[in-house]
Amino acid sequence: MKKSTTIALSAALALATVVGFAGCGGSKEAKKAPGELDEITIHLKWLPQSQFMGYYVADSMGYYKDEGLKVTITPCDGTIAPEQGVSTGTADIGVTWVPTLLTYQAQGYDFVEVAQIFQKSGLLLVSKKTAGIDSSAKITASTKVGNWGLGNEYEVKALLQKLGLPTTYVNQDFTMNAFDKGDIDLASAMTYNEYGLVINSYTGGLGYGADNVNVVDMNDEGVAMMEDCLFVSKEWLKDSKNEDKLVRFLRASLKGWKTACDDTNAAASIVMAAGSSISLEHQQFMAAQVKKLVDPEEAAIGSFNAAKLSQTLELTQKYAELGDSSAMDKLKTLTLADLYTDKYYGLATK
């Protein structure tokens, strides 16, 4: 990356260390009076970590302030989902996975996607090499497959159904302890998070090493679904002031993602200052892996790949299991036009 960008990021990190960050990743204080900045809130899918580095970098570098915004970054601790935050109005923008968004749309929520941040699936199924599950063909009805649920299970369910297996899975907590103890044969793991904890020996890691584990990659199995995206409520968009705020938010956020991808180590340090946990080494590993999913060398950051979104829609319609039959019927009728709009992304990038 350019030297000037590195210096700027380092300066931002130093400032973040001095002024500190709130537990929810709060914005640094603006020099202007509070009323002079438009306020907007983004509700993350999980706790502060490099998965969301673009927003934290945009905040730390002053990109939001440059757009006249005061942004509140609200993490998710597993109790209040971003969909709940957006639907109740405690958040204006949410981060979620596309299949989860589709199931909410099918249930009558007026959500619409406005930017696609991850361009690839980051979900793996990980097993100890001693378990002998070196391909999906080795998964059987007796294999204990773990997942967190909460809308993260659709790719796993799609794979199991594709293999002709029951779609039941073991409820996996937000650690890899069950994997380590052998309570789960095949654990869900994100390339940027849990997989790093399994193979690496830094603080918080289990230190198995990549040679001692096998992985089943959703991208290789034909069941990959698009993950981290930004969404809003259509009702919220009816206000032209909110449309304007959204465009400015997207412009600053995309700039933040570019800066983060240009220097992932500096971005990881900014995320750590925002209240991340485990270790700096883990956040650095995560940031490097997240960059691969954002894939800035192959696609414009935040852009929509119609083919990949179509695959996600088709897989969700085919394999999602919703308890409400009317929601299932509605899901079958959804189209890409229902899923997302590129209007605001286009305005932010022109």
Whether residues 95 and 163 share a domain: the answer is no
Mean pLDDT of 194-214: 97
Residue type, 59: D
Write out the two tokens for 161. Answer: 């159904």
Parent domain of 192: 123-221
Q: What is the pLDDT of residues 133-166, one digit of tens each?
A: 999 999 999 999 999 998 899 999 999 999 999 9
pLDDT of residue 9: 55
Strand order in the sheet with 213-217: 187-190, 123-128, 213-217
Whether residues 190 and 304 share a domain: the answer is no
Mean pLDDT of 250-257: 98
Q: What is the pLDDT of residues 292-313, one digit of tens each?
A: 999 999 999 999 999 999 999 9
What percent of the chain shows pLDDT beyond 90? 85
Flag whether pLDDT at 11 surpasses 80: no
Flag whether pLDDT at 209 surpasses 80: yes
With 0-12 CB in 10 A as exposed, 13-18 as middle and 19+ as buried, what is 52? Answer: buried
Whether residues 85 and 131 share a domain: the answer is no
For residues 302 and 254, the answer to whether their CB atoms sit within 8 Å is yes
Mean pLDDT of the chain: 91
pLDDT of residue 34: 53
Whether residues 71 and 188 share a domain: the answer is no
For residues 120 and 277, the answer to whether their CB atoms sit within 8 Å is no
Whether residues 95 and 12 share a domain: the answer is yes
112 vs 17, 101, 151, 161, CA distance in Å?
36, 8, 17, 28
For residues 350 and 251, the answer to whether their CB atoms sit within 8 Å is no
Which of 8-12, 80-84, 323-327 has the lowest average pLDDT?
A: 8-12
Whether residues 85 and 132 share a domain: the answer is no
302 forms beta bridges with 116
For residues 91 and 321, the answer to whether their CB atoms sit within 8 Å is no
pLDDT of residue 277: 84
Whether residues 243 and 306 share a domain: the answer is yes
pLDDT of residue 219: 96
Sign of CA dihedral 138, 140, 144, 147: positive
User: For residue 273, which of 45, 44, 69, 50 has the smallest C-alpha distance?
Assistant: 50
Whether residues 244 and 99 share a domain: the answer is yes
Higher pLDDT residue, 221 or 28?
221
Residue type, 199: I
User: For residue 101, which of 119, 79, 86, 90 has the smallest C-alpha distance?
Assistant: 86
CA–CA dist 171, 180 (Å, integer): 15
Mean pLDDT of 101-108: 97
Flag whether pLDDT at 254 surpasses 90: yes
Whether residues 23 and 157 share a domain: the answer is no
Whether residues 260 and 167 share a domain: the answer is no
CA angle (229, 235, 241) in 5-degree steps:
90
Assign 1 a pLDDT band (cuts: 50, 70, 90).
very low
Mean pLDDT of 320-326: 90
Whether residues 242 and 336 share a domain: the answer is yes
Give the SS3 label for residue 257. helix
Which of 12-26, 53-67, 292-306 has the lowest average pLDDT?
A: 12-26
For residues 106 and 273, the answer to whether their CB atoms sit within 8 Å is no
pLDDT of residue 20: 34
Give the residue from 198, 221, 244 where a domain finishes: 221
Whether residues 161 and 243 share a domain: the answer is no
Residue type, 58: A
CATH number of the domain to which 200 belongs: 3.40.190.10
Mean pLDDT of 228-233: 98
Structurally, the chain folds into a number of domains equal to: 2
pTM over 0.85: yes
